[in-house]
Structure 1
Amino acid sequence: MNTHLQHQVNQWLQQDPDPKTQQALQTLVDNQDEAALTAMFSGRLAFGTAGLRGVVGPGPMAMNRLVVRQTTAGLGAYLLSQISHAATRGVIIGYDGRHDSYVFAHDAASVLTAMGITVRLTTQVAATPLVAFGVKHFNAAAGIVVTASHNPPQYNGYKVYWENGAQIIPPHDSGIAARITQAATQTIPFMELSAAKAQDKLIWLKDDFYQTYRQGVHSASELQQYADPKSVSLAYTAMHGVGANMAEAVLHDAGFKQVYSVTAQREPDGDFPTVNFPNPEEKGAMDLVITEAKKHQAMLACANDPDADRFAVAVRTADNDYKMLTGDQVGVLFGDYLLSHAPAHQRLVGTTIVSSSLLSKVAQSLHASCYTTLTGFKWLMNVGINKCEADNQFLFAYEEALGYTVGSMVWDKDGLSSLVAFAQLCAELAEKGQTVWDKLEQIYRQHGFHLNAQVSIALKADTPNIGEFLRQQPPTAIADYAVLSCDDLSQSLRTFANGTTAVIDLPKSDVLIYCLENGARVIVRPSGTEPKIKCYYEVVETMNVTDTWESAQQRAEQAMSQFIQAHQASLPS
């Protein structure tokens, strides 16, 4: 083993507080596995706008106790330098049910309290939205959630909220990352939690904190009952995560008594034994909750992901089967429902560039304003906060990856309040003798049948740079649809077919958006982490009087298939 690598490994072994990862690393040293060690010490697990996320294991490229301590020391130093009264305002910390989450959260608390920063630490697992709520509730300087959300079991993560209650965005991500690099070369401060408690630096968040969130959901103006809840029955799964207790409680408070939890998936389990991948979007992940719904002939089969910030739903169909709604369908149903009840001063809704354009059309027809951001709730919420005005308060935002936030109690996606809102929406439809499917068809008849699809293209080593290719040879038509405008987010510039341009108010990003005739749209987005690009497609079919849902869908699917084929063929391979 070369001396530099040996030095790095030895230093790490001396500092690593975890006998498990120490042992795993020592075994590689004993076996002289230089290739594995070189990979393990080739850099650092990158801290970005989503914080940290990676496989649990030894060394600086993985999630482990030393990485968590170093990250926390860097975060603490950054908070003290950036936020006034950061030490007394403190940091709230919560964690999910993964195997290492408890110890990572406790380590983070020990580091921050040793730096003189007050910590509020949950006494038990907490859904991610509760921590986001807690940042605002306590006026904390920041929040930390130890979670890997819906990633596979071997992952864990570390998510950071800023003092405004939303996830961090630039420049704070790189500011924190620089402090982490610095902290990794120094001795990490550490205080036992019993000592921190004795010095009033640690405040345990017990059941009353959880009840405060619960009460907040119950009294939120956006989540009031407009219809009798008795007509709604639903099966629910926490997907081996932390959502069940709170999900059942907030549904009960809202009057929904026919709730059937999937017992096999109700309790937190870091192994996720009944699902291949604990993500409601993955094939098979909803099987058990749909089986439960069938058993009770329930109207809905609902799921949260393991940290309960996302919400998924399958709805009973006319032939007593269950069909998943897409994130876009749930988003537009929410937009329509919430705007139909919202006061005149609260009509601000938001979505992302890769989500359906349908919400903006619904919002326009209901005299509301809809903003569009880059992908990710960090953007949806930070922009939403900035756009709030006394006569235009925030109401709702969503992204197609099953993330929704209703009202401004939580400045992040919240799968628990979304669950209540969706049940209430269904109760109102039932009172009018309508189903979710009837309502969607009504929206499609008014604004066009919107179909969205996403395709990832794996790139070969010798594939030309697609973004560069498209910028040098801008297409005038895609699949027989004329290009009306092209947004190049790397330049913050929109170019129209006649050559005129306009500035776009979005952060710079390597994304191209083509708006085509007939309402069609293509978004080309290179992946930042893998050798692939993602293409997002939307087609819109006008529904005429003779159309049924089925005939419009068939036409849209046919158009989509030809559209994707023609677009993919036009890209360099």
Structure 2
Amino acid sequence: MSNWEAVYEKWNTYENLDPSLKKELADIQNDEAALEDAFYQELTFGTGGMRGILGPGTNRMNIYTVRKAANGLANHLLANRVNVRDRGVAVAYDCRYMSREFAVETAKVLGSYGIRAYVFKSLRPTPLLSFTVRHLGAVAGVMITASHNPPEYNGFKVYNEDGGQITPGEADEIIEQIRRTENELTVPYLEQDELEEEELINWVGEEVDHAYLERLKQITKLEEEEQERKKEMGIVFTPLHGTAHDLVLKGLDQLNFTNVGVVKEQAEPDPEFSTVKSPNPEEHQAFTMAIEQGQESNAAILLGTDPDADRLGVAVKDKAGEYQVLTGNQLGSLMLDYLLTHTDEHVLKTARLVKTVVTTELGRSIADSYGAKTIDTLTGFKYIGEKIHEFDSSGETFIFGFEESYGYLISSFARDKDAVQAAVMACEMAYYWDKQGKTLLEALDDIYEKHGYYLEGMSSLTLKGKEGSEMIASIMEAVRNKPFEEIGGFSVKQTEDYLAGERTLVEEGRKEEISLPRENMLKFILDEDAWVCLRPSGTEPKIKYYYGVCGSSKEDSRNKLNDIKQALDEAVGQITRS
């Protein structure tokens, strides 16, 4: 009997197995491939938590894998933090299947250790959970979400006492505690009525929302008189069946935006995300209904948030009257320029832009032009949150944080990407430029004219299951063992291996240390201000490759970007076929 078969047998013969999981297990009992995939490994707990397909098995999201994760978190907190039981853990959840159930299961396990849980009565956005941890002075936070993954997914995302996603060091400690939990089927827990009787669960209502909205008011760059003025600029908003509806509308109302239309068919939470192929504002098809409504109402700006409201997409009209969806890099660059334009020159001396290594270099150019410093982090907003925490004691001023995948943070009262903040700021920015007689696209063209025509792209290869994971590892190993010397006609000037923690300066023939945490990622700095980066996704069964250029014109940049994309597609294709 193989190891996975032994684990399956343990589950299959467990008398008290949850009835719904028992039925699902019976449905696949004759499908060896499905059983192996469900039991061949434990669901990976990464640097932010875990995410996976719902169903029975150790490699699936279910009440037992959630209990095991919560058990590891409880033991980690008790071993490494003070006043854990009194301070408690904030728990929120989105609209996905089993989200509320997993939130309660988390509280049940925490309660067995005497740790109080603050659980929201109804679904809430991820950035509100980040805010709640800080607002309540909780020792940690848990968000039950799978962000923009397909409907069959859910996840368990952990936040530290600063309100940021847990750091790699904290994740390692939690993982070690999870490993010490030998049997996920027998993790100790209290029943919900016991939690309520012993006051180990506090149900959170709208009081935290009100506190968040008070802080949201303060991010505006508009003068007080302008804030009070009614703004009739047309806005169409879709929460894509997720959690952002109430907070975004209230945030816009606070700035007196009076002409806001919501896509009715996508306003209500729906775990199936039934009107879109993917509830991801990065995907242009997610804007189909918003665009139709925008055309009817002649809206100036369209907003789309993902299900847990930590990512924002924006579309605006071009000169032909057609809506164009801005890339994450474009919207981030526009926001940065707007924020810095309205920042006091004394503040600019300590101002810091924080972006990831795969985010546009246009951000650095904009920051430089205002005298602000740019700090690069690894991919993932947890690293941006970690930098903001360092600023609390370093005297540096956080101005803006963003990543190419539609994640933005304007003010650090939250410590994770925040689509509610970004939605309100995007509308404010569009209103400001409209008063100057410009659209956001025209404002963006001005930025390109000043700084250069930066253009970026990202391709991904989805490789599911055990074989897919092995293939992704093989691709990274192949490129690491034989690094590119040129890509799409561009010579490689530097190779950055973040797993080895070293940078190779090709022309000089020497190496230097990279002062960032270790991660399985490779970046190639090319001539003519171009670059390429390969990275396995931490949340999806994909390998992603990012690339960026800076050309003399839009056409020049598009041609360069296409050359690099074709070269990468061919290179990765050759590896997968070999």
The normalised TM-score by structure 1 is: 0.91
Identity across aligned pairs (percent)?
33
Q: 1:180 to 1:486 in 2, by over 3 A?
A: closer
**Would you say the 8 A contact 1:60–1:67 is kept in 2?**
yes
Inter-partner Cα distance in structure 2 for 1:422 and 1:530: 28
Offset of residue 527 of structure 1:
5.6
Contact kept in structure 2, 1:231 and 1:427, CA below 8 Å: no
Deviations 1:339-374 (A, max 9, x none): 122243362111111111110110011111111111
1:166 is aligned to: 164
Shift in alpha-carbon separation, 1:231–1:469, aligned structure 2, 3 A: same
CA distance 1:223–1:266, shift in 2 (3 Å): farther
Instruction: Provide the C-alpha distance between the structure 2 equivalents of 1:199 and 1:561, rounded to a whole number of angstroms.
Output: 62
CA deviations on 1:474-509 (whole Å, 9 max, x unpaired) are: 555444434333323233333332224433221223
* Corresponding residue number in structure 2 for 1:373: 377
**Inter-CA distance 318–6: structure 2 relative to 1 (3 Å threshold):** same
Q: How far apart are the structure 2 equivalents of 1:381 and 1:253?
A: 26
Superposed CA offset, 1:376-406 (max 9, x none): 1111211232245564211211111111111
Q: Equivalent of 1:394, from 393, 398, 410?
A: 398
Change in 2 beyond 3 A, CA 1:209/1:531: closer
In structure 2, relative to structure 1, the CA distance for the partners of 1:173 and 1:255 (3 Å cut) is same
Comparing 33-42 and 60-69, the one that deviates more: 33-42
Preserved CA contact (<8 Å) 1:13 1:22: no
SS in 1 for 2:366: helix
Give the superposition deviation at 1:426: 1.0
Tell me whether 1:25 sits opposite 2:25 in the alignment: yes
Shift of 1:181: 3.0
Please report how far the alpha carbon of residue 514 of structure 1 lies from its aligned counterpart in structure 2 after TM superposition: 2.4
Distance 1:121 1:443, change over 3 A: same
Pair 1:406-2:415 in alignment: no
Per-residue deviation at 1:16?
5.3
Match of 1:188 in 2: 187
Which residue in the other structure is 1:327 paired with?
328
Equivalent residues in 2 for 1:16-415, closer than 5 Å:
18-29=18-29, 32-185=30-183, 187-220=186-219, 230-343=231-344, 344-345=346-347, 347-389=351-393, 391-415=395-419
Asked if the contact 2:89/2:139 (under 8 Å) is kept, the reply is yes
Q: How does 1:4-15 map to 2 (within 5 A)?
A: 5=5, 8-11=8-11, 14=14
Kindly provide the CA deviation profile for residues 187-242 of structure 1, in whole angstroms up to 9, marking residues without a partner as x: 32222333323323222111212211122212346687667561532100011111
* Whole-angstrom distance in 1 between the partners of 2:3 and 2:500: 46
Change (3 A) 1:233 1:10: same
Q: 1:521 aligns with which of 521, 531, 535?
A: 531
Structure 1 residue 167: deviation in Å?
0.6
Q: 2:441 aligns with which of 434, 437, 441?
A: 437
CA contact under 8 A between 1:280 and 1:312: conserved in structure 2?
yes
User: Which of 347-356 and 559-568 deviates more?
Assistant: 559-568
Identify which range, 289-298 or 335-344, moves more after superposition. 335-344
Q: Secondary structure at the match of 1:150?
A: coil
Aligned CA distance change for structure 1 residues 526 and 269 (closer, same or farther; 3 Å) = closer
- The one-letter code sitting in structure 1 at the alignment partner of 2:342 is H
Distance 1:34 1:194 in 2: 39
- Taking a change above 3 Å as real, the CA distance of residues 4 and 218 of structure 1, as seen in their structure-2 partners, is closer
SS of alignment partner, residue 164 of structure 2: coil
Deviation readout 1:544-565 (Å, 9 max, x if unpaired): xxxxxxxx22222122223333
Contact (CA 8 Å) 1:16, 1:22: kept in 2 or not?
no
- Distance (whole Å) between structure 2 residues aligned to residue 485 and residue 39 of structure 1: 39
Alpha-carbon distance, 1:166 to partner = 0.7
Residues 499 and 13 (structure 1), Cα distance of their counterparts in 2 relative to 1, 3 Å cut:
same
CA–CA separation in structure 1 for the residues paired with 2:243 and 2:258: 21
Residues in 2 aligned to 1:28 and 1:468: alpha-carbon distance in whole angstroms: 34
Tell me: CA distance 1:275–1:246, structure 2 relative to 1, closer, same or farther (3 Å). Answer: same
* 1:486–1:512 Cα contact (<8 Å) kept: yes
In 2 relative to 1, CA 118–464 (structure 1 residues): closer, same or farther, beyond 3 Å? closer
Indicate how the Cα distance of structure 1 residues 222 and 117 shifts in structure 2: closer, same or farther if over 3 A, else same.
Answer: farther
**Is the Cα contact below 8 Å between 2:284 and 2:325 reproduced in 1?**
no
Letter in 1 for 2:311: R
With 79-88 and 327-336 compared, the bigger mean Cα shift is at 79-88
Stretch of structure 1 that moved more, 488-497 or 418-427:
488-497
Q: Secondary structure at the match of 2:265?
A: helix
Q: 341-350 vs 424-433, which deviates more?
A: 341-350
8 A contact 1:222–1:406 mirrored in 2: no
Provide structure 2 residue ranges, at least 5 long, that are not aligned to the other structure.
Answer: none
| Cα-Cα RMSD | 2.8
The within-5 A match list for 1:495-514 is 495-496=504-505, 497-514=507-524
Deviation at 1:536, TM superposition (A): 1.8
Superimposed CA distance per residue, residues 495-554 of structure 1 (whole angstroms, 9 cap, x where no aligned partner): 332224433221223333222332112223356789975332211113xxxxxxxxx222
Cα pair distance change 1:111/1:347, threshold 3 Å:
same
- Give the 3-state SS of the residue equivalent to 2:241 in structure 1: coil
Q: SS in structure 1 opposite 2:528? A: helix
* TM-score normalised per structure 2: 0.90
The answer to whether the 8 A contact 2:377-2:384 is kept is yes
- Determine helix, strand or coil for the equivalent of 1:355: coil
In structure 2, distance between residues paired with 1:467 and 1:34: 29
Gaps (5+ residues) in structure 1?
543-551
Which SS does the other structure have where 2:285 is aligned?
A: coil
Corresponding residue of 1:549: none
Which segment is superposed worse, 397-406 or 166-175? Answer: 166-175
Please identify, of 530-539 and 347-356, the stretch whose mean Cα deviation from structure 2 is larger.
530-539
Q: Is the 8 A contact 2:316 2:323 kept in 1?
A: yes
Q: Secondary structure at the match of 2:108?
A: helix
Residues 222, 164 of structure 1: alpha-carbon distance in 2 compared, 3 angstrom cutoff: farther
Match of residue 554 from structure 1: 555
Q: 1:82 to 1:223 in 2, by over 3 A?
A: farther
Q: Which residue identity does 1:320 align to in structure 2?
A: G
Cα drift, residue 570 of structure 1: 6.4
Distance in 1 (alpha carbons) for counterparts of 2:27 and 2:569: 48
**Which residue identity is paired with 2:151?**
P
Structure 1 Cα separation of the partners of residues 275 and 260 of structure 2:
21
Distance in 2 between residues matched to 1:491 and 1:264, nearest whole Å: 48
Query: 1:213 & 1:17 partners in 2: Cα distance?
Result: 40
- Secondary structure (helix, strand or coil) at the match of 1:48 reads coil
User: Matched residues in 1 for 2:569 and 2:31: separation?
Assistant: 43
- Give the Cα–Cα distance (whole angstroms) in 2 for the partners of residues 531 and 60 of structure 1: 17
The amino acid that maps onto 2:127 is P
| d(CA) in 1 for partners of 2:460, 2:95 | 31
Alpha-carbon distance in 1 for matches of 2:37, 2:526:
45
8 Å contact from structure 1 (residues 223, 421) kept in 2: no
1:17-60 alpha-carbon deviations (Å, 9 max, x no partner): 6321122224445xx55554343222211111131211111122
